[in-house]
Amino acid sequence: MFDASPLLHSARADRLDVLGSLVCGFSSVTTRAVVDCDSLETLAAFGRWGTRMGLTDDHNIGATTLCAYADCRGGTVIMDDRDARRVAEFHGLTVRGTMGLLADACRRSDYTVASASVLADSLRDTGMRLPFPRGGFESWARDAKLLD
């Protein structure tokens, strides 16, 4: 389940194709599919997650919605907001960031580290905040033991 940020930055970098290839073979949904799910269970979960995420009229709507959906149906939430990821993980959800997906693809040999570094820098150029400087994907991923 993708939050808007990974999709937005991939689209701005004209690399939605690469984002799609990172999850090839996995079932994926976006916030739109999640919003269409309005079971009582999901609505109750939305209330719980809204409190956890500090939901306001214009903040954390996507993260709250995805977490509620994942809470009811399982799956991995793909989001890049560090604070939202921490809350989701604390409450037992499986969460991955875009750079983690990229490292996973490198580890599976679906993507080279050099190509991943170029993509990371392209995403940075769109305004995406990353946990490393330009050209730092490989060092960051190795330090985090994501490529082993």
Whether the predicted pLDDT of 22 surpasses 70:
yes
More confidently predicted of 79 and 39: 79
Confidence of residue 98 (pLDDT cuts 50, 70, 90): very high
Say what the pLDDT of residue 40 is: 83
**Average pLDDT of 98-116?**
95
As a whole number, mean pLDDT of residues 27-43 equals 69
Give the residue among 87, 86, 68, 67 at the shortest CA–CA distance from 77: 67
Burial 71-97 (b: 16+ CB within 10 A, else e): bbeebbbbbbbeebbebbeeeebebbb
Phi then psi for residue 2, to 5 deg, are: -100, 130
pLDDT recorded at residue 142? 97
* Confidence at residue 123, expressed as pLDDT on a 0 to 100 scale: 97
Mean pLDDT of 100-117: 95
What's the pTM?
0.83
* Residue 36: per-residue pLDDT: 63
Contact 110, 21 (CB under 8 A): yes
Give mean pLDDT, residues 18-25: 83
Tokens representing residue 101 in the block: 């997906």
CA distance 46 to 48: 5
pLDDT of residue 59: 80
